[in-house]
Copies of this chain bind each other. A is one copy, B any other.
C-alpha cells in the first residue's frame, strides 16, 4: 500500500463517504454500490471507486460494498477506529459551544479538558468538561496522552497558543481563529474560518444571480 500519492481531496471525500455509510447503516442497509454512495454526495461512481482504490480493495465486483466492513476500514484509514482525546483552548462563546457539541463523541473524539486565559473560568464545567487555567495545559496533555487540540481563542493569541501546544507535543490543531497558523513538520493544522465560509457563500450566490438574473 502506497503511503503517499493520495490526493488530499480524496481524503476529504472519504470522510463524507463514511458519514453517508453511517446513515445507511443506521437505516439498516447492508450493501451499497459506488453509484448509490456517490449520488447522495454529488460524486460520480468512478470517483468513489477511484478514491477507495488509493487505499486498497474494498468491494466485490458485481455485488458492491458491504456497509459494515467498509465503515470499519474507512475508520481505520482515517484513524478514528480508536478514541482521540482532545484539548480545547479558549472557553469563550465558540469554545463553549464546541464543548457542548454532541457530535464529536460518536465520531471518536473526546474533549477532555478546556483552558482559558481568564483564570476565573477555572473550575467551571462546560458540557461536562472541566475548564483549567492555561498553565495546566502541559500536565493534562501528558496525563491523557493528548495529540489533538482545538484552538478557539481570539486571533491575536492564536499563534502563541499554537506554539505552546507544539512545545507540549501536540501533533494536530483545528484552528478556529481567523488568522493563518502555518503547519510545521511536527504539527498538522486544519483551519475553519466561519466568516470565510459565509464569504464563499456570498460569492456563490452572486454567481447564481448572474446566471439567472433576479426574477
Contact = CB atoms under 8 A, between A and B. Distances in A.
Nearest to A22: B178
Contacts of A174: 197-198, 201
B180 A210 contact: no
A200 B202 CA distance: 26
A179 to B, nearest CB: 7
Interface stretch (A46-54, A57-65, A96-104): A96-104
Q: How large is the interface on A (under 10, 10 to 19, 20 to 34, 35 or more residues)?
A: 35 or more
A171 B97 contact: no
Interface in A101-160: 101, 103-104, 107-109, 127, 147-148, 150
Interface in A166-215: 171-174, 178-180, 182-183, 185-186, 188, 190, 192-210, 212
Interface of A: 3-4, 11-12, 14-16, 18-20, 23, 40-42, 77-80, 84, 86, 93-94, 96-98, 100-101, 103-104, 107-109, 127, 147-148, 150, 171-174, 178-180, 182-183, 185-186, 188, 190, 192-210, 212
Instruction: Report, nearest first, the 4 A-B pairs whose CB atoms are least far apart.
Output: A97-B97, A188-B204, A79-B202, A107-B195
Given A93-B96, A107-B195, A171-B205, 4 more contacts: A20-B180, A79-B199, A188-B205, A190-B197
